[in-house]
Amino acid sequence: MGREIGIGILGGGYMGKAHSVAMSAVGAVFDTALRPRLEMICASSVGSAERYRHAFGFRRSTSDWRVLVADPKVEAIVIATPQSFHRDIALAAFEAGKPVFCEKPLGASIEDAKAMVAGAEASGLPNMVGFNYIRTPASQYARQLIAEGALGDITWFRGEHTEDFYADPEAPATWRTSGMANGTMGDLAPHMINGALALLGPITRVMAEVETVHSDRPGGAVTNDDHAQMMCRFENGAMGQMYFSRIATGRKMGYAYEVTGTKGAIRFDQEDQNALWLYLREGPEATQGFRKILTGPAHPDYEPFCQGPGHGTGYQDQIIIEAKDFLTAIDSGEAVWPTFRDGLEVSRIVAAALHSAQARAWADINDF
């Protein structure tokens, strides 16, 4: 059994629950050197905080994030709040000498993201951003194949993050329909942009269109974007295209990408997250074609969950992998990707895309 570490989680909703479960399970799954102790959880009211404490197994609860950050028994912080709180919480945690894991996007604005990176790097403390989808065993294997040169020189990338939770025009307005930080470019786009960076490397310029399709919903006007499309050019010379949407009828978790190289190609779709489609330009023409690879113990971070190939991992397992990586960074004192600086790169690309859409011109990432 490894050394205990007190974990404080801010937020008890969708992601707060996911991180609470992950921290409960990660020690058993990965036999980590650090074993999380669920010390304190924070929510917006005393009642909800206490409800989450009881449901998730925390020792204590609070409705004041400052209390959690300052508590001496809380040794590491997980931020799973709305983006508008990320900056203040993270900077206070670094000031208190505590490592921080922050859900994406890094901040509610590029200014927030830059301030958070400055705080993280000045502190010298471990820091990570929660881009979970790229951590599936299949996508980790895709990164490995590309890095090893199995696909040859990469020439083209297509990515999307498409869902349909607002496809119905009669779905009522909520906090998600207010403010650009909560729109498609703030909410969904960062995941696929991060995925593109992970697979192909830096993006140098973008051209984007951003659109609100349903500008009025029951309960109020919509002040952010429903979908967006973006062309991009990678530093390695490859062309790219991405599409992001919360109104993509029929799509539930459309985190999908295609990568084309001179020797092969890859296709992946998160709705079938345990499969990777691989084409290698080798052998006789009659036997060439995409083949479906089912993930198993031979692929990254799979075996700790299950020794059976093809049995599969799920969404919660991605969060457990993140927890393992965060604990590894704390224990080793060495950065584990993606750090706050990696999160800032995503924020820069989002800012460039929004500028491009307004200017109706290409935008250089170095200007942001």
- Is a pLDDT exceeding 80 seen at residue 116? yes
- Is a pLDDT exceeding 90 seen at residue 1? no
The closest of 32, 107, 21, 174 to 347, measured between CA atoms, is 107
Average pLDDT of the residues in 267-282: 97
Instruction: Report which DSSP code applies to 175.
Output: G
pLDDT digits (tens, 9 = 90+) for 305-357: 999 999 999 999 999 999 999 999 999 999 999 999 999 999 999 999 999 99
Average pLDDT of the residues in 57-64: 98
- Is a pLDDT exceeding 80 seen at residue 29? yes
pLDDT digits (tens, 9 = 90+) for 189-236: 999 999 999 999 999 999 999 999 999 999 999 999 999 999 999 999
pLDDT for 78 equals 98
Q: Tell me the C-alpha distance between 135 and 126, whole Å.
A: 19
pLDDT for 220 equals 96
| 34-42 vs 254-261, strand pairing mode | unpaired
Query: Where along the chain do its domains lie?
Result: 3-133, 134-314+346-359
Tokens coding 27: 């020690």
pLDDT digits (tens, 9 = 90+) for 129-165: 999 999 999 999 999 999 999 999 999 999 999 999 9
CATH 3.30.360.10 fits 134-314+346-359, yes or no: yes
Chain-centroid distance of CA 32 in Å reads 22
Q: How many CB atoms lie within 10 A of CB 16?
A: 22
Q: In this prediction, what percent of the chain has a pLDDT beyond 90?
A: 98
Average pLDDT of the residues in 80-91: 96
Domains 3-133 and 134-314+346-359 share a fold: no
Going through 88-179 in order, the beta strands assigned E by DSSP cover 100-103, 127-130, 154-162
DSSP string, 80-103: -S-GGGHHHHHHHHHHTT--EEEE
Burial of 33 (0-12, 13-18, 19+ CB in 10 A): middle
pLDDT for 2 equals 79
CATH of domain 3-133: 3.40.50.720
pLDDT band at 96 (very low <50, low <70, confident <90, very high): very high
Average pLDDT of the residues in 247-267: 98
Average pLDDT of the residues in 4-27: 97
